[in-house]
Structure 1
Amino acid sequence: MGGPGRQIMLGPMREDTRRWIEADKRHAWHPFTPQGPWTADDHEPLVIVRGEGPWIWDSEGRRYLDGNSSIWTNIHGHAHPAINRAIVEQLGQIAHSSFLGFANPRASELASRLTGLFPPGTLERVFFSDDGSTAIEVAMKMSLQYRMQTGEPERTRFVAFADGYHGDTMGAAALGGVSRFFERFRRFGPDVGFVRSLAGLDQFAASEINAVVIEPLIQGVNEMRPWPAGMLAELRDWCDCHGVLLILDEVMTGFGRTGTMFACQREDVIPDFLCLAKGLGGGYLPIAATLTTAPVYDAFLGDPVNAFYYGHSFTANPLACAAALASLDLFLTERTLEELPAKVEHLAKLLEELASCEGVVDVRQCGLVAGIELRAGLGSPVCLRARDHGLLTRPIRDTVVLMPPLCVEREDLDLAIDALKAALAGV
């Protein structure tokens, strides 16, 4: 596989690009990436150096539409002046301070803003962490401790949905339904049962279930597969009927992706725990939040032994909170949600055209999220060829993900679909 002295053969390119790639291949380890093909002599990875709006540039000066929002994180576009300004202003005050035993203005403001996005008396408390996995981890540990402190310690089982994905920390990985990623670690995690539909819930003793975890409206890593309309509301009713907590993983679906600020709002569902990350910081800095209710919070009061002893060094980082606040402001000043329906409708028409192309098996859409399922073996080649036509994205198996920043214009969506058509024709 090559040690420090391995010779890396690359074609003509700028000297700085060559240097960065050589250093990467010798020393970096990439997530979800088989390192053998990555470090092969004939592999020339893109080095991303700049972004503006929905566009990004590589180190060779080539421009691409950011077709998956830089792994589903970017909301209002790259290098947005308002978010840049908020981060710089905060940087002039303090970059980080501990949230363990101290408060900071931006975290206070952000917690208030997030809870204010829901009806009064519902999601009233915010626990900050670092990323989607830890937001889920917080909900899992918090819900288990809640049961211990409210007289139901026997409720330890989680129920998740087959082919779902909820993160990579050990607890979150136990909820994962993708065997390739999680099977080898499953026995180290908590007790989790898996179902494919609401009907499957009845196979478990409800009195033993702590919580049900689901990605609302659409599963992301499961090749962008939407749930049937009304399913989320039915799940909320089932949980209420059986005293089961509901954990919603809106790490991918939150902040406008599905057409509303949060996917659960499409079916007027309020969970017991709402997990947020990715778009929370606008795609600029890592930050996550787990929102929960007053009854859950109250169970941790009283005796100090009841406290939630969990947290991270960079919890509620002021720079990340400033970016998140600026992102929330932009939803108002740029009328982001109001502009979405026309874009969603335009994308639907384009996908309908794409569905008739040779090699396309199915197209699936939820808001400004789309999965284009291709014939077996076409996913990666099509994404690679689409780069030549100005689109940068990646597949999940053979399903091409199209999830651009919400600031994307209709002509940008035209470019994306034209790039996929051209790539399909070329492959």
Structure 2
Amino acid sequence: MSPSQDLLARSRAAVWHPCTQMQRHETLPIIPIIRGEGSWLYGEQGVRYLDAVSSWWVNLFGHNEPRIKAAISRQMDQLEHVILAGFTHRPVVELSERLGALSGLGHAFYGSDGASATEIALKMSFHYWRNQGQPEKTRFVHLENSYHGETVGALAVTDIPLFRQTYAPLLIEGLSVPCPDNRHTTAERDAKQLAEQAAQAVERLFAAQHQQIAAMIVEPLVQGAAGMAMYHPHYLQRVRELCDRYQVLLIADEIAVGFGRTGRFFAHQHAEITPDFLCLSKGITGGYLPLSVVLTTDAVYDAFYDPDVTRGFLHSHSYTGNPLACAAALAVLDIFEQDQVLQCNAQKAVAFTQQLQGLCDLPWVTHFRHCGMIWAFDVVCERNDFALAFFREMLQHECLVRPIGKTVYFMPPYCTTEADITHFYHATRASLTAVCGNQTTPSHITSDLKMA
């Protein structure tokens, strides 16, 4: 048995892999990765894979980034961890200050992952209204097809049946409103009009039930697990206005779309608004260490500031504000400044989009769309196993992708080059042809659906 075969057997025997039906790995090999460099992951005997999904959207600047490694190493020589209850340290203070300056939100509460950030924001918004003498405000509004994590609180505002249905008896029922998904535009209704129509549904809900609603949570501009559903910033502007009018707190879940993914540092900045809560994770440490943070306003913070301990926010994680993770996050912020990342990404996005649009001449590709450093398209394919089949085929072409149903997306590290995108483009063409090539083109696919 080779070292890789031994590792695969041991992994199947000992590791319960996430978001996975483990029985599949009786026939689908688990892939051993030895090292990473830039946009590429490497296995044994020279096999490599372009990390087209940034290892679940966390890796901003590529694998083995020397400046982030050096920052962690320096911090390791000083302080690896200390309890943040009653103690503090330089990295967590500096990170909080810098995130506050970037967001306009003055107080940072730390967790360990994205779902933890969602839980914190939900609990904090509920508790805020209780402290304000309005304990009846207990419900949460979310968009249809939303995803905000898989812990029990986060699932209450997650609208993906695959994740939610099994655990429905455990969940508080949320209030769902339509998503202004640009794929639903028509010749008579453009993206902004669609956004306005969806906002009017929020207005009707708030008018009827605002006295029971604590907060509304949104993924600004791009709903990831909904198949990279993209929508117009007008929706965020209207939701902010409605939340103010009806006394509903606004939670911006930027766990996936923060840190430059949409072309601005924070996605909500496209709409020139400020949320009441901002949830961040994934790219915050460049993919190096687990960390999440919820940023909020002075008004929310002040509602908890009281001699009565029960009015405090009594929530904690053992590794809250871990110094090593905060040091990595500070290095990420430094790289954004030193490398002018947003400006460079804007230039790359033009070239990448120009090449990827070439996929639109394939008969199975529809609704090609783009936002910042995120590209996606939908595939019209008769195969019910499209996602798994396409995943397998792309591995043969040295690409790691994870289709969402019949949506293919490209969300690469920011160090990805034009040569890398050319490789991805040709791999995608070849894989779509291999997976879908034997079917006839459905009659409802027309050229006006090729772009969205």
TM-score category (smaller protein): over 0.9
Which residue in 1 is equivalent to 2:392?
384
In 1, Cα distance between equivalents of 2:422 and 2:35: 23
Shift of 1:422: 1.5
What CA RMSD, in Å, does the superposition of the two structures yield over aligned residues?
1.4
Of the three residues 173, 177, 182, the one matched with 1:195 is 177
Q: Secondary structure at the match of 2:361?
A: coil
Pair 1:399 & 2:384 matched: no
The unaligned stretches of length 5 or more in structure 1 are 1-13
Deviations 1:374-412 (A, max 9, x none): 123333322221222221111111112210011212222
TM-score by length of 1: 0.93
Which residue in 2 is equivalent to 1:17?
4
Task: Verify the 8 A CA contact 1:358 1:424 in the aligned structure 2.
Answer: no
Which residue in 2 is equivalent to 1:152?
134
Pair 1:180 & 2:162 matched: yes
In 1, Cα distance between equivalents of 2:8 and 2:44: 10
The unaligned stretches of length 5 or more in structure 2 are 179-197, 436-452
Task: Verify the 8 A CA contact 1:355 1:361 in the aligned structure 2.
Answer: yes
Which residue in 1 is equivalent to 2:430?
422
Pair 1:410 & 2:418 matched: yes
1:208-247 equivalences under 5 Å are: 208-247=212-251
In 1, Cα distance between equivalents of 2:235 and 2:32: 42
Q: Which has the higher helix share?
A: 2
Shift of 1:363: 1.7
Shift of 1:362: 2.6
Of the three residues 344, 350, 359, the one matched with 2:349 is 344
Which residue in 2 is equivalent to 1:268?
272
In 2, Cα distance between equivalents of 1:221 and 1:392: 17
1:32-111 equivalences under 5 Å are: 32-38=19-25, 40=26, 42-111=27-96
Which residue in 2 is equivalent to 1:371?
376
Moved more, 344-353 or 330-339: 344-353
Which residue in 2 is equivalent to 1:130?
112
Structure 1's consecutive aligned runs of 4 or more residues displaced over 3 angstroms after TM superposition are none
In 2, Cα distance between equivalents of 1:305 and 1:275: 24
In 2, Cα distance between equivalents of 1:399 and 1:117: 33
Deviations 1:132-183 (A, max 9, x none): 0000100000011100001111111100011110001110011010011112
Shift of 1:368: 0.9
Q: Secondary structure at the match of 1:46?
A: coil
Shift of 1:200: 2.6
Shift of 1:419: 1.1
Deviations 1:88-136 (A, max 9, x none): 11111222111122111111111111001034xxx10000100000001
TM-score by length of 2: 0.88
* Percent of matched pairs sharing the same residue: 37
Shift of 1:187: 3.5
In 2, Cα distance between equivalents of 1:143 and 1:190: 15
In 1, Cα distance between equivalents of 2:423 and 2:94: 39
Matching residue's letter, 2:432 = L
Task: Verify the 8 A CA contact 1:336 1:407 in the aligned structure 2.
Answer: no
In 2, Cα distance between equivalents of 1:75 and 1:157: 35
Which residue in 2 is equivalent to 1:361?
366
Which residue in 2 is equivalent to 1:291?
295
Matching residue's letter, 1:390 = E
**Number of residue pairs matched by the alignment:** 409
Task: Verify the 8 A CA contact 2:233 2:270 in the aligned structure 1.
Answer: no
Which residue in 2 is equivalent to 1:335?
340
Task: Verify the 8 A CA contact 1:258 1:367 in the aligned structure 2.
Answer: yes
In 1, Cα distance between equivalents of 2:356 and 2:211: 44
Q: Secondary structure at the match of 2:220?
A: coil
Matching residue's letter, 1:349 = Q
